[in-house]
Amino acid sequence: MSRILTWLVFAAFLLPAAASADPTPAKGTLLVATEQLRGDIFVQTVILLLHYDETGAVGLVVNRPTEVGMDELVADDDALSGYTGPIYWGGPVQINSLHALMKSEKALEGAESIVDSVYVVSVNDVLENAPKDVPGLRLFMGFAGWAPGQLDHEIARGSWHVVPASEDLVFAKDPGRLWKQLVPPPERRAEVRPAEPDDRAESISS
């Protein structure tokens, strides 16, 4: 009977931890950099995962708008150079490449749905007929990428906090505040009182 009671107490102790555990990384989840990532290029970033499986992971940093203009990236493309909206730093991989996220209540033909009404779309397809600001569009230069198992290792190490994504988070009106909104509070570790000299002496003598 005492053994059963001990097991029940142990199970009850584990339940809160299991309930508060992060979701597993997947397409349509957000990676929130923890405070362990000090001095890293991903410090205080929030990344939307576009792909995650045994072959690796790909995502876009959604909270770092830049002051780079489209004409600095594609000066020889009239359609794209006419875009005047902000361009976000999507990550360090292929920094000269452009990627686009668009929110649309209607399904977009040829686009990949990521979460809610957020789609990955072709930059050229979107801007060729509407080179100025396009509502619900965000452009990113570069992307973030991980080799097979690399992201899992970083999460296990405590570098990333995984949270469900949503349209409102991905297209936050104030992306500069998004990290502070999502980063988990510092862990509160129970303080263990070291044994006093008298305690240790009593323990040894006993």
60-90 burial, b if ≥16 CB within 10 A, otherwise e?
bbbbbeeeeebeebbeebebbbebebebbbb
On the CB side of 206, how many CA atoms lie within 13 Å of its CA?
6
Is 0.85 topped by the overall pTM? no
Q: What is the pLDDT along the chain (206 residues), one digit of tens a residue?
A: 444 433 333 333 333 333 345 789 999 999 999 998 888 899 999 999 999 999 999 999 999 999 888 777 765 666 676 777 889 999 999 998 999 999 988 888 889 999 999 999 988 877 776 555 677 899 999 999 999 999 999 999 999 999 999 999 999 999 999 999 999 877 433 333 344 434 333 333 33
pLDDT attached to residue 73 = 75
pLDDT attached to residue 106 = 87
Domain-by-domain residue ranges, the chain? 22-184
pLDDT attached to residue 125 = 79
pLDDT attached to residue 69 = 81
CA distances from 159 to 73, 76, 148, 154, 188 (A): 32, 40, 17, 5, 17
Q: How far is it, in rounded angstroms, from Cα 115 to Cα 130?
A: 24
**Considering the domain 22-184 in this protein, what is its CATH number?**
3.40.1740.10
pLDDT attached to residue 7 = 38
Q: Which of 83, 60, 65, 64 is nearest to 73 (CA)?
A: 83
Quote the longest CA-to-CA distance of the chain: 86
pLDDT attached to residue 153 = 96
Q: Which amino acid is at 113?
A: S
pLDDT attached to residue 164 = 96
For 43-192, list the strands marked E by DSSP: 46-53, 56-61, 87-89, 93-103, 112-115, 118-121, 137-146, 160-164
pLDDT attached to residue 135 = 75
pLDDT attached to residue 8 = 35
Q: How far is it, in rounded angstroms, from Cα 170 to Cα 30?
A: 9
Q: Which amino acid is at 89?
A: W
